[in-house]
Amino acid sequence: MSRSLKYTNADTKTIIAEKGLDRNGKYWRQQLEKISSTDVERALSEPIGTYSFEKLLALISPAAENYLEQMAQSAHQLTIRRFGPTIRLYAPLYLSNYCSNSCYYCGFNKENKSERTRLTIDQALEEANIIASEGFRDILLVSSEDRQFISVDYLVELAGKLRGKFASISIEIYQMSSSEYTQLFKAGIEGVTLYQETYDREAYKYYHPSGPKSDYDNRLETPENIAAAGMREVGLGVLLGLTDWRIETLALAEHAHYLIKRYWQSHVSFSFPRLRPALEVGSSQFRYLLSDKNLVQMITALRLCFADAGLVLSTRERAQLRDHLVKLGITKFSAGSKTNPGGYSGHNEAIKQFEIDDNRSPAQVAAMIKQQGFEPVWKDWDVAFIK
């Protein structure tokens, strides 16, 4: 390759830009096509669970599609060795679908003319009680960009009232400053998921035409604010289907590698959200939808490069595929998810962020995990450990 792939002591923005992963899709597609079977076999002969850019490049190449069975077996063995035969279970709790962004792929797009809902603290607690009654002790608070209502004070108050019921409280909301994340951490929130959506600058600009989220660099730099605040878990991901998944995987891995090296006290995880139908959003308008085969390739390649990373799969995926992926490196599942505020209690029909595909109950998902020879884990952490 003509470009230097040496890791530099720079920030995420510089690392991604130096390799052209934020703009030069044509170059990297050419490099991926040059990967041979010999290159893939060499990558597979390296110690599993260790990362290098060249190794991942080989494992996500078209040539590596012929080695998926070997990759899957190695990913399974490594995951069992690191995590044991367990799958963590969590549930999302949506707090608001009012939004100041106009992302083309999202049902919460501010341009959509439909019913909006914000949950008061009491309403959120009602939803949380239903989630807890199903066995969950790991909850993910989700919101659109609704800063005026879903404020830091709101989240601090809600977290304080959830701590008695949930061992782990995480958030997936708009990007914040390091000081704001520090406040949330002190309140008992110990994990943050923030998807870059796409690392391609031009695609990012197109899909985020207006709103605070349209600032690419702010989005890119926010996971560092999360880790700097001491958060135990930092969740990364891209919205699969916006651009070429192979190049996105390279950028995602470089981002994770940087965070792991600099903020070793935080545990990095990867999520694999594929585009799903939503209000005013149909799958036919996206050119880069990836196949199940390529999703398996992405998951196993990242596992073989990041031994200790959590791999998270949501109810976006259909039940049959999720059943199959239990043994391929996934460590965390959502179950029984509702993607609209008030969805668990059924008090309203407010718009959903997207349509889920696995509609099984938490109990049914837990039973499936047991049938696969794994143990469903409702709790593996307690906020008291932080203290």
CATH code: domain of residue 87: 3.20.20.70
Q: Do 345 and 130 meet the contact criterion of CB atoms below 8 Å apart?
A: yes
Residue 135 maps to a domain? no
Nearest-angstrom CA–CA distance, 333 and 362: 10
Residue 155 maps to a domain? no
Residue 132 maps to a domain? no
Going residue by residue through the chain, which has 387 residues, state the pLDDT in tens, using 9 for 90 and above.
333 344 445 789 999 999 999 998 899 999 999 999 999 999 999 999 999 999 999 999 999 999 999 999 999 999 999 999 999 999 999 999 999 999 999 888 998 887 899 999 999 999 999 999 999 999 999 999 999 999 999 999 999 999 999 999 999 999 999 999 999 999 999 999 999 999 999 999 999 999 999 999 999 999 999 999 999 999 999 999 999 999 999 999 999 999 999 999 999 999 999 988 777 776 667 889 899 999 999 999 999 999 999 999 999 999 999 999 999 999 999 999 998 999 999 866 677 777 888 999 999 999 999 999 999 999 775 656 555
Q: What kind and span of H or E run contains 86? A: strand 86-96
- In the chain, the number of structural domains is 1
Q: Is 82 exposed, middle or buried (0-12, 13-18, 19+ CB in 10 A)?
A: middle
Q: Is 4 exposed, middle or buried (0-12, 13-18, 19+ CB in 10 A)?
A: exposed
Residue 78 maps to a domain? yes
Phi, psi of 240, deg, nearest 5 = -75, 120
Strands (E), 117-219: 138-143, 168-172, 191-193
Give residue 24's pLDDT: 80
Nearest-angstrom CA–CA distance, 170 and 334: 13
3-state secondary structure of 170: strand
Residue 55 maps to a domain? yes
Residue 23 maps to a domain? yes
Residue 332 maps to a domain? yes
Greatest pairwise CA separation for the chain in angstroms: 59
pTM as predicted: 0.93
| Range(s) of the domain holding residue 52 | 12-91+190-336+355-385
Long-range contacts of 161-166 (CB under 8 A, 24+ apart): 161/121, 161/125, 162/125, 162/128, 162/188, 163/188, 163/383, 165/128, 165/129, 165/132, 165/137, 166/128, 166/132, 166/136, 166/137, 166/138, 166/139
Q: Do 332 and 92 meet the contact criterion of CB atoms below 8 Å apart?
A: no
Tokens for 218, please give them.
């702010």
Residue 204 maps to a domain? yes
Nearest-angstrom CA–CA distance, 329 and 307: 10
From residue 155, alpha-carbon distances to 52, 294, 300, 383 in Å are 38, 37, 35, 16
Closest Cα to residue 278, out of 47, 99, 58, 24? 99
